[in-house]
Amino acid sequence: MNDQTLIADLRAQLAAQQAAHLYRRRRIQDAPAQPHGSSDGRSVLSFCSNDYLGLANHPDVIAALQHGAARWGVGSGAAHLVNGHTAAHHALEEALAEFTGQPRVLLFSTGYMANLGVITALTGRGDTLFQDRLNHASLLDGAQLSRATLRRYPHCNTNELNQLIAKDPPQLIATDGVFSMDGDLAPLPALMQIARDAGAWLLIDDAHGFGVLGRGGRGSLHHFGLSADETTVVMGTLGKAFGTFGAFVAGAEEVIETLIQRARSYIFTTAMPPALAEATRVSLRLAEREDWRREQLQTLIARFRHGAAQLDLPLANSFTPIQPLLVGTAELALAWSQQLETVGILVSAIRPPTVPAGTARLRITLSAAHSETDVDRLLTALAAIQLPPD
Ligand SMILES: *Cc1c(COP(=O)(O)O)cnc(C)c1O
């Protein structure tokens, strides 16, 4: 094969993706992450961000990042195990351990890497691991990398999981706490019991639970009134409700030590900038103390769901800030998203392979930084959508 063929192959694949309405494009934002911004040069109202508490652009968090950079410089300069692990990182780990109520916490550079790290450190060739069919891509990719046998169970179906487990006992069960594209919660009380009975680790990816659910935003486990036992490992991201960047894993002392020794996505990568750890400590404190942010979210969620139900829109069964409208085909999801964009409202169309075929959707996300007027504007625009004739 010569170079010409290689490029021609790519071109054909890209064209096929476009024909299937699955082509992805980036918009160029020219304002910070906040509901009222500007994209591709025009002013927009956005419902796409995971900045659920409105902290990404908070003046105290910005100031902490600036002071952090003045104190520590910008780059950490090395991996944690070389000499990139600063007192700023360490203080954030301790603050997160206290926040989660877990014995220890380890920072990772991203949530994607944290999931790869936990799964590859706790499972290996010859093991079986079970995952919810709708888990985040990073959990599924972690399973591939681990070389363990990956088995997927139907979404939130613990009966089916129990039957599968009886035939094939797992080393680990992994689930999103709040499902990222659906907004619903995993049945954590049942999953904890199943994992305990099976003698398996339970890994909860709470990227969308921390900051939003439970007292002080302590996440999905707290929402259910549960506390982690020694074999529960919880992953949280810092780039969503906490408004900064990075991720953490909370668990037993032995789990965290094992990650330090074995998690390649921890060992072989540069530590996050220490200034970011300083900024995150401030946003963590705001997230924990400012309950009005969670209350505002609940008000907006109720308002949106009430209005959407009156319009007979295809709402999902979610009471979190992730409020998908299940429109069906990729083409329809794009058409809805494009019509909203013509009136200056940004909502992402989520298509396969991010979600199963036939379940393309508009992924509407609400933030404490939205107002009730913003939600009403969205509802008005949704009511006015004209679908193209078949
Ligand atoms: C965003 C997300 C991740 C990845 O976190 P990053 O820090 O963005 O890499 C992992 N799991 C879930 C469920 C997520 O939504």
Provide CATH code, domain 59-289.
3.40.640.10
Ligand 1, atom 6, residue with closest C-alpha:
111
- Is residue 199 over pLDDT 80? yes
pLDDT interval class at 1 (50, 70, 90): low
- Annotated binding residue 52: no
φ, ψ at 106 (rounded to 5°): -125, 130
Mutation choice for ligand 1 from 110, 138, 276, 320, CB with most ligand atoms inside 8 A: 138
The pLDDT confidence band at residue 137, using thresholds 50, 70 and 90, is very high
208 is in an annotated binding site: yes
CA–CA gap between residue 267 and residue 237 (Å, rounded): 18
What does the alpha-carbon distance between residue 101 and residue 353 come to, in Å, rounded to a whole number? 36
Reduce the secondary structure of 30-45 to three states and give it as a string.
Answer: CCCCCCEEEECCEEEE
- Domain spans of the chain, in order of start: 25-53+291-383, 59-289
**Mean pLDDT, residues 205-219:** 98
Q: How confident is the model at residue 38 (pLDDT cuts 50, 70, 90)?
A: confident
DSSP 312: T
Residue that the structure tokens 């220890």 belong to: 104
What's the pLDDT score for residue 65? 98
The predicted structure's pLDDT at residue 389: 55
Intrachain domains 25-53+291-383 and 59-289 with the same fold: no
Q: Whose CA is nearest to atom 4 of ligand 1?
A: 111
Nearest CA to 122 out of 49, 230, 279 is that of 230
**pLDDT at residue 224 above 60?**
yes
AA letter at 94: E
- The rounded distance, in Å, linking the Cα atoms of 191 and 158 is 7
**Distance from C-alpha of 27 to C-alpha of 102, rounded to nearest angstrom:** 39
Of 112, 206, 266, 355, the one to substitute when testing ligand 1's pocket (max ligand atoms within 8 A of C-beta) is 112
Query: Which residue reads 């990404």 in tokens?
Result: 56
Q: Is-contact 354 182, C-beta < 8 A?
A: no
4: confidence class by pLDDT, cuts 50, 70, 90? confident
What is the DSSP code (8-state) at residue 153?
A: E
CA atoms 126, 231, 226, 369: torsion sign: negative
> In the prediction, which pLDDT does 251 show?
98
Q: Are 215 and 204 in contact (CB under 8 A)?
A: no
Is 240 a known active-site residue?
yes
Determine contact, residues 175/191, Cβ cutoff 8 Å: yes
Q: Tell me what the mean pLDDT of segment 335-359 comes to.
A: 94
Distance CA 191, CA 4 (A): 52
Reported confidence tier of residue 97, pLDDT bands at 50, 70, 90 = very high
CA of 357 to the centre of ligand 1 (A): 21
Cβ–Cβ under 8 Å, residues 320 and 178: yes
pLDDT, residue 375, reads 98
Question: Phi and psi at residue 103, in whole multiples of 5°?
Answer: -60, -40
Was 111 annotated as part of a binding site? yes
Which tens digit of pLDDT belongs to each residue from 249-308?
999 999 999 999 999 999 999 999 999 999 999 999 999 999 999 999 999 999 999 999
Residue 167 falls in the annotated catalytic set: no
pLDDT at 388: 60
- Match domain 25-53+291-383 to its CATH number in 3.20.20.150, 3.90.1150.10, 2.40.50.1070, 2.40.50.100: 3.90.1150.10
Rounded mean pLDDT of 301-321? 97
Q: 118 C-alpha vs ligand 1 centroid, how far in Å? A: 14
Length of the chain: 390
Give the Cβ contact number of residue 268 at 10 Å: 10
Q: What pLDDT score was predicted for residue 390?
A: 54
pLDDT tens digits, 226-258: 999 999 999 999 999 999 999 999 999 999 999
The Cα 361–Cα 337 span in angstroms is: 9
pLDDT band at 156 (very low <50, low <70, confident <90, very high): very high
- The answer to whether 265 is a known catalytic residue is no
CB atoms inside a 10 Å sphere around CB 79: 16
Q: What's the confidence (pLDDT) of residue 301?
A: 98
Q: How far, in Å, from the CA of 377 to the mean position of ligand 1?
A: 29
What secondary structure letter does DSSP report for 318? -
Structural contact between residues 192 and 229, judged by C-beta atoms closer than 8 angstroms: yes
Write the DSSP assignment of 200-232 as a string of letters: -EEEEE-TTTTTTSSGGG--HHHHTT----TTE
